[in-house]
Amino acid sequence: MAKLARQTAVEALLQINDEGGYSNVVLHNLVTRNELSAQDTALCSVLVYGALERRLTLDHIIGAYSKTPVRKLTPAVREILRISLYQLLYLEHIPDSAAVNEAVKLTRLMKVASASGFVNGVLRSFLRDEKKIPPVKQKGIAQQWQVDYSCPAVLIERLLKSCSKEQVQALLEHSLGRPTLFARVNTTKITVEDLLKRLAEEGVDAQESELEACICLSNTSSLEKLPSFQKGLFHIQDKSSQLCARLTAAQPGMRVLDVCSAPGSKSFTMAEYMKNEGEILSCDIYAEKVKKIREGADRLGLSIIKAIENDALEYRKELGQFDRVLCDVPCSGLGIIGRKPEIKYKDPKEFDGLPPIQMDILEASANYVKVGGILTYSTCTVLPEENINIVTDFLSRHKDFEAYEQKEHTSGWYSALFPNMKHSDGFFIATMRKIG
């Protein structure tokens, strides 16, 4: 069955790299469609995410052994080589001979059998050279890091303009390998202690973190099949995202607006802090995502959440006023490249159009805040032009808002978190209070 896992991995990578699909969505759909076992699902996931996060390193190796440039290779041949080289370099439990033999079999399964000799030759040449990564010919730190950390040099150069060398290197190092999996305990249904006991009985290793009701999980397979998950005792959410929900300071009985809510995790956590008392309006522009929010809230038993379709760019007076407004805007996502490695291969020029949209969403969201209420702005990126520059510009033009100091878990009125900090995602959180 291992070849089924590898074949599914190739199919997934073709959809992600050539069709622009999201890695988590594509992988879930293919694993379900192909009816992979738990063991095959695990191998397939490792190959897909591994080949994505190490893509430039792998392509550097292919380029050293292939007369044909990587970009001109048949897509299926390219992905077969990537997952096979990934196995040779990074998966010690898979014998080299098995990785090569399965790669040759894959050429037939993927209908590129004519390339079997080429694939075999590249892999065996790499083995004869003792699996050494060829030296980088271009000079410069960005070019070297492109191969070391599999991040495009153009993105590295962009990051170095905004962040220190140490920060960028830490971000890149943290982006390799599967990130820590965090979950938020549904405190409306169970205590942290009791959930830890249940998870242990279900074969899941779980430990508390320093953030209340936040636990880290390991030794997990299909979380959706766990009885504790099905009963709505927890939801998956990174620690940084949980902190963002905490810093909104939502209290029982309040009226809360989450303007860009999908998939809904911050709304869920705020509802739990509110003890499921009050009202949360969770919005997204897409009907399918709104449906997902509703399904998540129903599973968790969080009845105060009402999910609706809404465009965050447009102010709707009829929605009324709110005690708390969370503005978690679309962003470049550079703080989560460890979870979604395909993000780092986007053209950085695509990020240039985001700040005006982010500002427009923040401007529209500000209209919903009551006097004395708190407006929270957040992203999962590390670029200042999407973070501190947005909120300082906003405050300079809106004298009816002031920076609101976050007294718990951080100091000051904003937090700029890098992915290497406390093993969590990169995140930016700023809180502002309406004063009149």
**Nearest partner of 431 among 408, 354, 254, 271, judged by Cα:** 408
Rounded Cα–Cα distance for residues 433 and 280 (Å): 19
Rounded Cα–Cα distance for residues 17 and 152 (Å): 15
SS3 417: strand
For residue 260, indicate whether it is catalytic. no
Task: Determine the Cα angle at 279 with ends 276 and 280, to 5°.
Answer: 95
- In 101-250 the beta strands, taken as DSSP E runs, fall at 181-185, 205-208, 214-218, 234-236
Phi first, then psi: what are they for 402, rounded to 5°? Answer: -135, 155
Rounded Cα–Cα distance for residues 263 and 183 (Å): 14
Cross-sheet strand order for the sheet of 205-208: 205-208, 214-218, 181-185, 234-236
Residue with tokens 């005006």: 356
DSSP H helices in 233-286: 239-247, 265-273
**Nearest partner of 400 among 422, 364, 360, 371, judged by Cα:** 371
Rounded Cα–Cα distance for residues 13 and 223 (Å): 23
Q: Which residues are catalytic?
A: 380
